[in-house]
Structure 1
């Protein structure tokens, strides 16, 4: 198998390629290309140019292959993949051909460089692995295999991991070596079946990602090798890899990583399955982000049972006024009637319409028989109670309730005869009336609102976290019904998460981030990555985010 020597730069700063890209300086070199920083004089932006080695650029077959793969990579729009902008060729006066790929210029640190300081904490390693797996899943969905997933080809940026260098990527099922029999890739990361000349498959990328994940967790690759011969020997003689020494590593992460390293490609998970497992094990980045992304659940109203309640030496209720107040509170009747405001007729905060969620299985807060009932059976009547003198001021309101309700003597089957709630302190009883049947069922029994971080403050403007939560709900709804593509949802969520974290920590301003989100929505709409209806909803939610209280 052939080893390609590093390319020496044949170009000079200041040269203009394709009458558009002016070279600034060289920022990297590899076995097949040199990476230049360049200025795009048409769009006035700085880009990265990967210039092929002169010997490879002189080969028309190789140029055609790189051009086709650049076209394929340009279709791969993903937040964790380096964007490909253009492909070009120029011919020098001496007839030599310069072939280059124009890419997004990234600012960050290669993962390989980061690992020189030692392995990463497992939560960070898992997050990187999940992001790379997401990127590979998107590539595999388009029929593209990377073939060189290594720590040198992952850049750590402010928006997360970015997979670099799809320059030797190929279509699924294509031959895995060139016409001279040389295998593409980095030996220590190459799957065993590729040594036998098997066609490129997504499973080969998953193996390479398993090596990368193993290296980020332990600081070493499972089968060290610098040449194909060394790799063959390591695979034949090496001991099976293990992650037993990684402190605190969840078993699910260790299991899926070792599955990625299986010798049999059929035993490996897909990139999408790997990303799902890793994300399930990720810790929340911060408490605010965890709150922002928590779902909002509306709990149904559950009507309280009839019960005789006693607190201390005085029962909670037992008169017609208090019984009616209990029904009124459950039904959520108009303010001003007894039992609606906390502190009236023995209804504590959390009971009544807004507190129905505290009842479960027909018993308050515990599921057992109501206090004051010896055997837990419901009693048809409530016993009279002794009035506390200090509470006489409430009697009038309690007695006024029956006059406001219809005189229907047939109790409805769906409602109990009384509905008092156990209070944390002494209940507030009423006196001077006999118990009467409850009123007919109210025509509307509103569902109690569940507490949520997304409720608007009194001023009518959401806080940052509340507005971000609303935007996240729109993204989730679009993802669920197919109105927003998977990679688009991931891109928007990452941008939203980074913006929220930066603004909450005082490290950034809201305006530029909102502008970026709107630009992404506009771009993705043109790319048909989301529907016009969801684009409109997203834009409205982003506008609300821009007006949020910080």
Structure 2
């Protein structure tokens, strides 16, 4: 298959350096772009010029930070006199998800986050009428910047006739009947991928097209064990054999974002309770001070007992008597401290700091982060300044579920207008999902 060697130059511009991978129809090289003096990936396809041209055009239409970027397309003559087409892509450094899964499943939060980001890429592709048709662990690269969806080589436009291309474990059932390309096939594949990340294995054992055609699948869709119920249900919905019952890619990303937002909120609540418990215990210890000779608190360490004459002392009770201190200041009582574990005591914390109070305090914190994100994005020209101002003004209504819904609708409208960078939209959308959780709490 490989018709080139290191050192070959394509189109008098791309110097092939070393082989990255080789497949049945293509070879991927690491190369140097002499014109721009940068490293790139060059995918060479032998006798597949039309396929290479289609891949380049399809991928170039899609603008999303988590999708691989296409820089160039060209054709060249090999040393054997044959014409080969090539696609120049952004060179990414990372670990294929398939390789990572050989070490076992991912933590459910990481699996959910990865699935949500891939769902956002598919959402953008589907909005352009593009169906990937080969979402799989082999085509997801885990990079320092997050997961990236690769290889739109067999992508089709929605409604195009289907063909037997793709990775069998991820192939939706309707593709076996020749149904035209539809976004639902990508959602099914995403469900398989999500299941695989959660459990370490695909939901069904078939690995070839022939096995798929003879497979007998009775009963409900598999349910991934040991994960939150809403995630297990979402995975099952993606794997539904009926395309019409599957959620859209956007619904998948939204629900995962809300689940992760609730998880982050609960973590902040627990963290806040722990800090309050620590502060309560520290204050108690400061007030109680050291224990005296009789095993009783000697009083606050910072307030030494002043010298007093006998005439100044009240006749009813000596100043050092512990009874008034214990009756008026329960926190200083040594008995509860000795019989309980102050750091873990839930009763006084639950009564003094109700959950809705913590939720209310979290709302302005999320709104502040949203404002900071808008300001930084406006300075970096990732969003039009007038749009950033409009969103900041709308934030005043972001303390109710309806206000959050209005914010999300406005953000989506500005994305369609091209006034908001797609990656920024995803970041702000995640904050809105978190805000929706706290305003409902």
What's the TM-score bracket when you normalise by the shorter of the two chains?
0.5 to 0.7
Q: Which residue in the other structure is 2:247 paired with?
A: 269
SS of 1:282's equivalent?
helix
Q: Which stretch of structure 1 is more off in the superposition, 472-481 or 28-37?
A: 472-481
Q: Which residue in the other structure is 2:102 paired with?
A: 116
Q: Which residue in the other structure is 1:243 paired with?
A: 223
1:153 aligns with 2:85: no
Q: C-alpha distance in 1, partners of 2:120/2:416?
A: 13
Cα offset, 1:66, TM superposition: 2.9
SS of 1:280's equivalent?
helix
Cα offset, 1:492, TM superposition: 2.8
1:197 aligns with 2:182: no
**Contact 2:415–2:425 (8 Å) recurs in 1:** no
1:51 aligns with 2:37: no
**Contact 2:119–2:253 (8 Å) recurs in 1:** yes
Q: Which residue in the other structure is 1:491 paired with?
A: 423
* Equivalent residue runs for 1:146-225 within 5 Å: 146-177=132-163, 183-225=164-206
* Equivalent residue runs for 1:3-82 within 5 Å: 8-52=1-45, 54=46, 56-57=47-48, 63-82=49-68
Q: Deviations over 1:412-437 (max 9, x none)?
A: xxxxxxxxxxxxxxxxxxxxxxxxxx
Cα offset, 1:170, TM superposition: 1.1
More helix by share: 2
**Contact 2:132–2:152 (8 Å) recurs in 1:** yes
Q: Which residue in the other structure is 2:302 paired with?
A: none
Unaligned runs of 5+ in 2: 270-361, 379-387, 393-407, 430-441
Cα offset, 1:490, TM superposition: 4.5
Cα offset, 1:104, TM superposition: 0.8
Q: Deviations over 1:114-147 (max 9, x none)?
A: 1111111111100011101100110111111111
Q: Deviations over 1:180-226 (max 9, x none)?
A: xxx11011110111111111111111111110001001111111222
**Contact 1:69–1:170 (8 Å) recurs in 2:** no
Q: Deviations over 1:451-499 (max 9, x none)?
A: 956999xxxxxxx9984474479399297263445995441367899xx
Superposition RMSD on alpha carbons, in Å?
A: 3.3
Alignment counterpart, residue 255 of structure 1, candidates 230, 233, 241:
233
* Equivalent residue runs for 1:465-504 within 5 Å: 467-468=372-373, 470-471=375-376, 474=388, 477=391, 480=410, 482-485=413-416, 488-492=420-424
Cα offset, 1:92, TM superposition: 3.5
**Contact 2:52–2:85 (8 Å) recurs in 1:** no
Cα offset, 1:32, TM superposition: 2.0
Cα offset, 1:285, TM superposition: 9.1
Q: C-alpha distance in 2, partners of 1:475/1:67?
A: 42
**Contact 1:18–1:90 (8 Å) recurs in 2:** yes
When residues 475 and 204 of structure 1 are mapped into structure 2, their CA distance, relative to the original with a 3 A threshold, is farther
Q: Which residue in the other structure is 1:279 paired with?
A: 257
Q: Which residue in the other structure is 1:105 paired with?
A: 91
Q: C-alpha distance in 1, partners of 2:27/2:390?
A: 42
SS of 1:103's equivalent?
strand
Q: Which residue in the other structure is 1:132 paired with?
A: 118
* Equivalent residue runs for 1:516-527 within 5 Å: none
When residues 97 and 253 of structure 1 are mapped into structure 2, their CA distance, relative to the original with a 3 A threshold, is same
**Contact 2:130–2:155 (8 Å) recurs in 1:** yes
Q: Which residue in the other structure is 2:285 paired with?
A: none
Q: C-alpha distance in 2, partners of 1:174/1:101?
A: 23
Q: C-alpha distance in 1, partners of 2:424/2:18?
A: 33
Q: Deviations over 1:328-387 (max 9, x none)?
A: xxxxxxxxxxxxxxxxxxxxxxxxxxxxxxxxxxxxxxxxxxxxxxxxxxxxxxxxxxxx
Unaligned runs of 5+ in 1: 1-7, 58-62, 178-182, 292-449, 457-463, 498-550
SS of 2:160's equivalent?
coil
**Contact 1:80–1:162 (8 Å) recurs in 2:** yes
When residues 475 and 89 of structure 1 are mapped into structure 2, their CA distance, relative to the original with a 3 A threshold, is farther
* Equivalent residue runs for 1:124-523 within 5 Å: 124-177=110-163, 183-234=164-215, 236-237=216-217, 240-246=220-226, 249-283=227-261, 467-468=372-373, 470-471=375-376, 474=388, 477=391, 480=410, 482-485=413-416, 488-492=420-424
**Higher-Rg member (1/2):** 1
**Contact 1:218–1:243 (8 Å) recurs in 2:** no
Q: C-alpha distance in 1, partners of 2:137/2:366?
A: 40
Cα offset, 1:50, TM superposition: 1.0
**Contact 1:224–1:231 (8 Å) recurs in 2:** no
Cα offset, 1:229, TM superposition: 1.6
